[in-house]
Structures are given as structure tokens and as C-alpha cells.
Amino acid sequence: MQFIQNNLLIIGLILVSGAMLLWPTIGRIFFGRKQVDVQEAVLKMNHEDAVVLDVREENEVALGRIPHAKHIPLGQLKNRLSELEKFKAKPVIVACRSGHRSSGACGILTQNGFADVYNLAGGMSAWEQANLPVEK
């Protein structure tokens, strides 16, 4: 018990960091968020006319993005949902650098009536590791 009292801050940091690592899994289980890997994303883009939404910041997108992806930074998404209204009937694949921010964006889209929303597992990092095309 003395150890816990002396190291409360460290224990708190461990718990918070663990929760952050598990957040995508928690989102899928409790909030019904769907996830696709890069191969599934490409299939949805090619066969289901899926729209890709990149929620990274401008400086990240400048380094490269998925070809034809729509760019709306996560912080602006709620105010710019009207730009995506015409895509409500299509699958929407949301991407960020690693898949964490895009998970939050999936929640925003789902809450606003987008029914077929997917988080790109691993984000742009996974896309680039798979040597898929990047547009600058």
C-alpha cells in the first residue's frame, strides 16, 4: 500500500497510457466502430466507390495523402460536415497518421448520420508501409 501511495502519479500515467493504447479496440467493441486494413480499404475504394477522409493537419497532408482523399482536419470536422453530406450513402474510410484521431472522427460521422464509416487501421503509416500510392 505504501508503494501505491508513493507512486500514485506514475501509476496514473501507466493507466492513462494503457487506456490510450486500447482506445481503438474499446471504440470498436462499445461504440460499433468498424475498421479496415489497407487491402480492405483499397477494395472498398475500387468496388464500392468509398470516399477517403483524411483528418490530419495541413502540414501532415503536405507530406502526402491517399489519392483523391478529402481533407478536413479533425478539429474542423464538426463545423465542416456539410461538405460531406453528399457522401452519406457511400462508405467513408477515415485516415490519420496512425488510426487514433480517425477513430474519433468515425464517431463524429456516425453520430451525424453516416452509416457506413470505417477507420483505416494503422492510418497513413500502414498505407505507406504497404507501398500504396501517395499524392503530394
Average pLDDT taken over every residue of the chain? 90
Residue 92 to residue 107: CA distance in whole angstroms: 12
For the stretch 84-136, pLDDT in tens is 999 999 999 999 999 889 989 999 999 999 989 999 999 999 999 999 999 98
Identified catalytic residue from 96, 117, 120, 121: 96
Residues listed for the chain = 136
Pick the CATH number of 34-129 from 3.40.250.10, 1.10.10.10, 3.90.79.10, 3.30.465.10: 3.40.250.10
**Residue 31 in this model has a pLDDT that exceeds 60:** no
Query: CA 53, 132, 104: angle at the middle one, nearest 5?
Result: 30
pLDDT-derived band at 8 (thresholds 50, 70, 90) equals confident
**Residue 53 in this model has a pLDDT that exceeds 80:** yes
The percent of residues in the chain predicted with pLDDT above 70, rounded, is 89
Residue 79 to residue 72: CA distance in whole angstroms: 10
| E strand or H helix at 6 | helix 2-6
To the query of whether residue 106 is one of the catalytic residues in this protein, the response is no
Locate the domains of the chain by residue range: 1-32, 34-129
